[in-house]
Amino acid sequence: MPSLPGDGTREAALRWLAYLRVADVPRVRALFTHHPRYADLTPVQYAEGLEWLRRTGLVTASDHPVVDVGEQLPPDSAVVPQALWNAADDERRRAIGTAGERCLLALLRQEGLMAVEHVSAVSDAFGYDIGALTSADGRIHLEVKATTDPTRLVVHLTRHECEVMSADPWWIMGAVLVSKRGDALNVATVSRSWLRTAVPHDRSPRGRWESARLVVPPQALKSGLITADGKRVLSGGSFATPEVWGMPGLGAPVARPRAAARLRPTASATGGGKALPT
């Protein structure tokens, strides 16, 4: 099996995904080769990044991206200050988050789980997005984090979600890689023990953290949805694209929901806005 790409190769792949939306390979390669802004990576890393995207199917045979990473371009702070958040970005993240939640709702129902409910569409007070029964005496409380970035997994965890995780033995975090058409390309579970060690701690009674941005390492991920007692919720492996987020390729492709094979992202006030800013 090919070795997993390094950080430089994944960053190169992310740049390819951003620019291949608007230009072909020769033009983008020329940009990376000759523009000083992109000289922090070598031509070999750019070549490896493109080869990785082709090998994993994250670009089509005609080199069109299958995921939309948005404007993942480096800021030129010497020219103008950069806005890190705007209304258009917020709506896009909400749409991606809604698509990820809908994909997992459909997959759980396809697996035959009972009482599958989209609880975050009712209220964020639950501290998770989806509830379902896995057996007569088991259940799953699923917090969904959706992204279109295949090179790294970044999640935002609120304090309330963290407190629910600590108190609720059924709580798990599921990450979804969403395609341009709204498909779930990959599903993985983020380790609860890793999340506990990664969240910040209050340093003073005068201040407390409310939201944390966490970069999830590959060793904190398991393919598919895994309950707290180690049971696999989704059949068939659930990891369609190898090496995404630095993970080795494991298992079989995600089983596409029959009733929702292509779920187009649409902005929704009840979607929870759980897409992952990068």
- Measured between alpha carbons, how far is 107 from 272 in angstroms, rounded to an integer? 19
Burial per residue of 222-250, b for 16 or more beta-carbon CB atoms within 10 angstroms, e otherwise = bbbbbbeeeebbbeebbbbbbbbbbbebe
Provide the residue ranges of all domains of the chain, joining segments of one domain with +: 1-73, 87-246
Q: What is the pLDDT of residue 206?
A: 87
Q: What is the pTM of this model?
A: 0.72
Higher-confidence residue of 62 and 275: namely: 62
Q: How confident is the model at residue 77 (pLDDT cuts 50, 70, 90)?
A: very low
Q: Return mean pLDDT, the chain.
A: 81
Mean pLDDT value of segment 167-191: 92
Of 72-81, 214-223, 247-256, the range with the highest mean pLDDT is 214-223
E-assigned strand segments in 42-148: 114-118, 130-133, 139-147
- Measured between alpha carbons, how far is 214 from 155 in angstroms, rounded to an integer? 5
Q: What is the pLDDT of residue 269?
A: 33
Answer whether residue 170 shows pLDDT above 90. Answer: yes
Percent of the chain at pLDDT exceeding 90: 40
Helix %, strand %, coil % for the chain, to 5? 35, 20, 45
Rounded-to-10 torsion of CA 16, 17, 20, 25? 30
Answer whether residue 174 shows pLDDT above 90. Answer: yes
Mean pLDDT value of segment 64-80: 59
Strand-strand pairing, 171-178 and 139-147: parallel
Answer whether residue 138 shows pLDDT above 50. Answer: yes
Q: What is the pLDDT of residue 93?
A: 83
Return the half-sphere exposure (C-beta side, CA atoms, 13 A cut-off) of residue 255.
17
Percent of the chain at pLDDT exceeding 70: 78
Q: What is the pLDDT of residue 36?
A: 85
* Closest to 47 (Cα-Cα) out of 31, 69, 29, 24: 29
Mean pLDDT value of segment 155-174: 94
Q: What is the pLDDT of residue 272?
A: 43
At residue 257, the 3 state secondary structure works out as coil
Q: How confident is the model at residue 219 (pLDDT cuts 50, 70, 90)?
A: very high
Mean pLDDT value of segment 116-144: 90
The answer to whether the beta carbons of residues 216 and 194 sit under 8 Å apart is yes
**Range 87-246: architecture per CATH:** 3-Layer(aba) Sandwich (3.40)
Instruction: Give the tens place of pLDDT for each residue, 251-274.
Output: 434 444 444 434 333 333 333 445
Angle formed at CA 256 by CA 235 and CA 50, multiple of 5 degrees: 105
Answer whether residue 44 shows pLDDT above 50. Answer: yes
Angle between helices 43-56 and 25-34 (to 10 degrees): 150
* Closest to 70 (Cα-Cα) out of 208, 178, 169, 189: 178
Answer whether residue 247 shows pLDDT above 70. Answer: yes
Q: How confident is the model at residue 99 (pLDDT cuts 50, 70, 90)?
A: very high
Please, which residues have CB within 8 angstroms of residue 193's CB and are 6 or more apart in sequence?
none
At residue 117, the 3 state secondary structure works out as strand
- Measured between alpha carbons, how far is 139 from 108 in angstroms, rounded to an integer? 12
- Measured between alpha carbons, how far is 232 from 222 in angstroms, rounded to an integer? 10
| Sheet arrangement for strand 184-190 | 114-118, 130-133, 139-147, 171-178, 184-190, 221-223
Answer whether residue 72 shows pLDDT above 80. Answer: no
